[in-house]
Structure 1
Amino acid sequence: MKKFKIILAIAVLGFISCEDVLESAPGDSYNEAVIYSDIALTESLVFYNYNVTENWGMNFVDWWTRRIGIENASDECWFHWPTRSRYTNNYSTTTPSNMGFFRNTWPVYYRYIGAANNFLSKIDDSPVATNSPDEVAVLKGEMKYLRAVAYAQMINFWGGVPLVTEPFAFDADDFTVARASYEDCIDFIVSELDEAIALLPDGTRGGAEFGRVSKGACMALKSRMLLYAASAQHDPSESGAPRGPLYDYTKPSKWQDAANAAKALIDYGHYSLVPVTTAEEYHNMFLSPNSELIFARPYSPEFPNVPNDFNTLPDKAHSPVANGGWGLSNPTHNFVQDFKMANGMRIGDAGSGYDVNDIYANREMRFYANINFQGSSFHGVELEYWSPFGNNSKDLLGNDGRHFALTGYNLRKFLDESITIDVTQSSNRPFPLARLPEIYLNYAEAQYMLGNEGEARTYVSMVAERVGLPAITSSGPALLEDIKYERQMELFFEHHRYYDLRRWMDEDKMGEDVLGVQWEKRNASGDLDINGTLTMIPENVLEERTFNKEDYYLPIPFDEVEKAGLIQNDGYTN
């Protein structure tokens, strides 16, 4: 496992090493012969491609996107730095020539696809396949999963994309491969995952193999992508999103297929929910591997996100400035106000117990586990978001104001209070790529859409009751809203919300202005005074957002359209 981690870390540093080997291999038979004769070197080609999986940031290409993720392109969080305008899809300003933080996404994914194609075209006829057939079968399964991941992410962003499965010089002048239909892309991804499942060992891969692809990982991605495909965004009867073969999924069995895929993983029996009774227990669940973690990207002091650069990890990037962090991704007040009360009621429901003078009291468990707010304690420090000169305020002495959480909130989920920021790293905290609660919710949503509300209530209730909320008893549209709520809160900051809002076609949420709250202490004369009375300045608009029809998908970068003659996505001009 140490070798697995080290090679991953090397590959992160600018996408070097294995990629260079792959690109030089066709013209250098000695290098290729050595690589495919030594199982350790062959493994290195696969381990490089693990960088296609998601992590704490959006990608490793840009300085910022190693530290901040896609959550800032949804209603979950707001990136407060002046460069936030690079989330161009928040303002409907994305163009093929101005992709903002998404600018390198297309070529990076095809780089991994090219590496996978090269490997899979050569491995069966290699000496290592003869000498180590069992190990090679597993490596093929891993690489098929990783190629499926790349295509899954691409169709989530763009709809149908060119399906390239053989080695191809992507920088060749005659690179002309048409975009496949969205449905064909889904079929290919599902086929890849089924083939990978047949090649991979049974059970979980723990211990020294933690972080490597398992059958469960493949089943989880299959469940997710069939759920996405069945959703409104890809339903040709829904008029709000772009329509046509590049975007539509027409299979009559789509919801049953999604339900079957989720239930297969549930029945697989290798995963179980972690029982928790307090917000602290729920929070700590994310700091180490556990029984509900199906697949994750491993991190430890010997394998940091970027070697010798702790600030790409969430502790520095997202902790409050009062604790030595940068607080880059600020949960929005919109998101905070969506948290239910501990009794399971929405804050606006009659009899909920919500107190406008004590807005953080009696919320459900995940609020306290996931969000830092005015008066909460973090690293043993009570957080003061108030002016003048609170320890987490915009006018804190020595603070230039850029790291102030203008929404009034900081992240808490994933942050390890046992470490010293900038000095030590969380010992065994993974980034979750698939967890059992997601699969329960996939199944619940599919069963709801099939009309099986009792089954849907059973599985959404498992997620809700685990955090102390009452069992779900709703029906009809209210039940679907409860399922959506559980996805929103249970999967917070795990890179789901951006895609969920699009597939549900929730344009009100996608175009919702970002709200924040501010706190002040003022004396009897109305002046700011550190000894004054604490008051909240209610909701204020921090950022106006817009959402248009074309924003369901990203534009294909201008250079790629020109080079390959691709059809551009609806609503964009080259």
Structure 2
Amino acid sequence: MKNVRYIYIALLTLFILGCDPDALDITPDGRTNLDDVFQNEQQTEAFLNRVYGSIPKYFYKYQFFAYLAGSSDEAEDSDVGNEPSNISFIWNTGSLTPSYDPLEQNGHDVAVKRYQTFWGGIRDANVFLANVETANIPNTRNRGRFTAEAKLLRAFYYLEMIKKYGPMPIVTEPFNTTTDYTALVRPTFQECVDFIVNECREAIAIPELPIRITEEQERGRFTKAVGHAIISHALIYNASPLWNDSNDTGKWQVAATGSKEAITALTAGNEYELFPDYEEYFYSQSDMNPSPRDRETIFEIKDGSPGTFTIINALPSQPGQFKTGSAPTQELVDSYEMVANGEPAILGYSDEDHLNPIINPASGYDPNNPYEGRDPRFYATVWYNGAQWDNIQGNIHTVETFIGGSDQLIKTPPNRKNTHTGYYLRKFYNPKIQAGQGSPARFKKFRLAEIYLNLAEAENEANGPTTEAYNAINIVRTRAGIPNLPLGLSQDEFRDRVRNERRVELVWEEHRFFDVRRWKILDQTDKLVTGMEIIRNAPGDFTYQRFVVSKRNAWDDKYRIFPIPLGETSIIPDFDLNQNPGW
């Protein structure tokens, strides 16, 4: 917030430094004041683009092309042991402090420093909303639409910030030279969520805001659908154990209602629906036209995936590979159910190191043939020993992660080209694209499947495993090609199944990192990760041995919520008095 205090002093400097590259290529020349900006039609639109400029890129755009997945139990980053500044290595050693956030190491994202960036986005939204009513906007429909978009952007930045740092002061007016920053106080999480939801509902009610984007030149703009997604997301967090210690079922009911309303609005007239093929869905960006093939994506990040994406996620046997990126863990692999009956393959572990899995005897899982008959999303997400990778130098390549194979596991760094877990990431990477070629894959920030799973979770917590809860989760499972959940589950059993469904459906989409925090199970999930070492005895005959990949130190309760940065607590007394627990 140190940055926002200087809004009037530094505004011209900020303009001179330039707006977002896509901001209509309009940058004030340094002689323009704020009033002049909003009396110029083009510069008004450029300022709205500036508000959009604080949206992070997510995906693989963390330090040295890392994913957030490597700082969760989804993955082990291949640069652990190779790159001292690797965010996963530093994060997993427990290095987070009020003065240092490992996830904010210099990355490939202008918004890598989330705290400053989100406050900057809120600042810009406040300035825009304070001026939009009198701004030079000849088209009255644009005035309504611009207002709605700015409100949604402000709500989005608040949501992303409170997920990470907890409740933050609700500021709706531009800061000025008389603002008393020492008077700022932290509200409750509920108050923040109420503000976010109200902002979204006000925006959704503005008729000029469309339900979806249908023209390529408008790609990346917010819509009514984004508003519904933000509401669903915010309410599920508000009802979760982290922010609902008393397990107030009323909060869960509000969350369920919010997601139901979102689904009703989005699916009316088949405006939004799940994409038919889970694997293919992640290979490309959404199509912008009135009758799109992709009706699932609500908002995706515009930033493209050039050749860098393919060389940092390739197999060692692929020509042009630079590194293998983040490798799926055995814990993730164990979470995929059996396709024949929808039963969990692994029920848990009988030891602290996860080396002795509890096999579900009803599942049909064979530990000597562990990759046979799994949830189709497993094959769409993970490269494993024996998988068939199409079109490597014109041939179909059989993935060989066994010791001595062409894609072998190498446990000991330094080594960034081979998996550290026995697996490679397939999701997002079309196997027909060669390493070094650009990819049309984009990061899906909001999509319809998440809202269905939000509804299933909230409905179960509010009312038990009702027909509505079953229907919501089963529509996602049906698209995946996995049987419906069995009837007669208890509320606790359904909770376990919907949490696992989120894990496999939303893997690598930055949900798991925050889900285990809002569920307050970080100490159960993030103490260690394991992998699979495979020895080939003869062609087609393998021995499988689990091993501990790494033990981690970022699982204590205090890691559920990030500390408010030290520079802020030294400026704002209430931040110092009400720093997050453990910090």
Q: Please, what TM-score do these two structures have when normalized by structure 2? A: 0.80
Shift, 1:504, TM fit: 1.6
Shift, 1:461, TM fit: 1.3
Q: Does 1:286 align with 2:265?
A: no
Bigger mean CA offset, 448-457 vs 188-197: 448-457
Change (3 A) 1:136 1:379: farther
Q: Which amino acid aligns with 1:183?
A: Q
1:284 and 1:29 map into 2 onto residues whose CA distance is 50
Shift, 1:298, TM fit: 4.8
8 Å contact kept, 2:41–2:136:
no
Aligned to 1:409: 423
Aligned to 1:341: 338
1:349-378 residue CA offsets vs partner (Å, 9 max, x unmatched): 213221111111110110001111112122
Change (3 A) 1:432 1:26: closer
Bigger mean CA offset, 492-501 vs 373-382: 373-382
Could you say which structure has the higher helix fraction? Answer: 1
Change (3 A) 1:325 1:127: same
8 Å contact kept, 2:59–2:443:
no
Task: Map 1:154-233; keep pairs closer than 5 Å.
Answer: 154-168=161-175, 177-199=184-206, 200-208=208-216, 209-233=218-242
Change (3 A) 1:207 1:418: farther
Q: Which amino acid aligns with 1:296?
A: F
Q: Which amino acid aligns with 1:53?
A: I
Q: Does 1:264 align with 2:261?
A: yes
What's the C-alpha RMSD, in Å, of the aligned pairs?
Answer: 3.3
1:350 and 1:181 map into 2 onto residues whose CA distance is 46
Shift, 1:283, TM fit: 0.9
8 Å contact kept, 1:258–1:443:
yes
User: Match of 1:378, SS?
Assistant: strand
Bigger mean CA offset, 352-361 vs 378-387: 378-387
**1:491 paired residue among 499, 506, 509:** 506
Q: Which amino acid aligns with 1:161?
A: M
Shift, 1:412, TM fit: 0.9
Task: Map 1:3-402; keep pairs closer than 5 Å.
Answer: 17-18=18-19, 30=32, 32=34, 35-57=37-59, 63-64=63-64, 67-81=65-79, 82=81, 83-84=85-86, 90-102=92-104, 104-128=113-137, 131-168=138-175, 177-199=184-206, 200-208=208-216, 209-237=218-246, 253-268=250-265, 269=268, 270-274=270-274, 276=276, 281-288=277-284, 289=286, 290-299=293-302, 304=304, 310-311=307-308, 313=309, 315-323=310-318, 324=321, 326-342=323-339, 343-347=341-345, 348-380=359-391, 381-388=397-404, 390-394=406-410, 401-402=415-416
Shift, 1:554, TM fit: 0.5
1:270-305 residue CA offsets vs partner (Å, 9 max, x unmatched): 4444464xxxx4211222324442422254xxx636
2:89 and 2:254 map into 1 onto residues whose CA distance is 34
Shift, 1:105, TM fit: 2.1
8 Å contact kept, 1:293–1:432:
no
Shift, 1:346, TM fit: 1.4
Q: Which amino acid aligns with 1:189?
A: I
Shift, 1:89, TM fit: 5.1
1:456 and 1:102 map into 2 onto residues whose CA distance is 38
Give aligned pairs, total. Answer: 517
- Unaligned ranges ≥5, structure 1: 1-13, 239-249, 524-530
Q: Which amino acid aligns with 2:401?
A: Y
User: Match of 2:164, SS?
Assistant: helix
Between the aligned residues of both structures, percent identity stands at 26
1:506 and 1:351 map into 2 onto residues whose CA distance is 27
Shift, 1:237, TM fit: 2.5
User: Match of 1:461, SS?
Assistant: helix
User: Match of 2:213, SS?
Assistant: coil
2:433 and 2:177 map into 1 onto residues whose CA distance is 44
8 Å contact kept, 1:92–1:548:
no
Bigger mean CA offset, 88-97 vs 111-120: 88-97
User: Match of 1:155, SS?
Assistant: helix
Q: Please, what TM-score do these two structures have when normalized by structure 1? A: 0.81
1:253 and 1:433 map into 2 onto residues whose CA distance is 28
1:31-84 residue CA offsets vs partner (Å, 9 max, x unmatched): 54554244443223222333443534376xx643xx223222221112231344
Task: Map 1:433-452; keep pairs closer than 5 Å.
Answer: 433-452=445-464
Change (3 A) 1:161 1:310: farther
User: Match of 1:253, SS?
Assistant: helix
1:86 and 1:170 map into 2 onto residues whose CA distance is 40
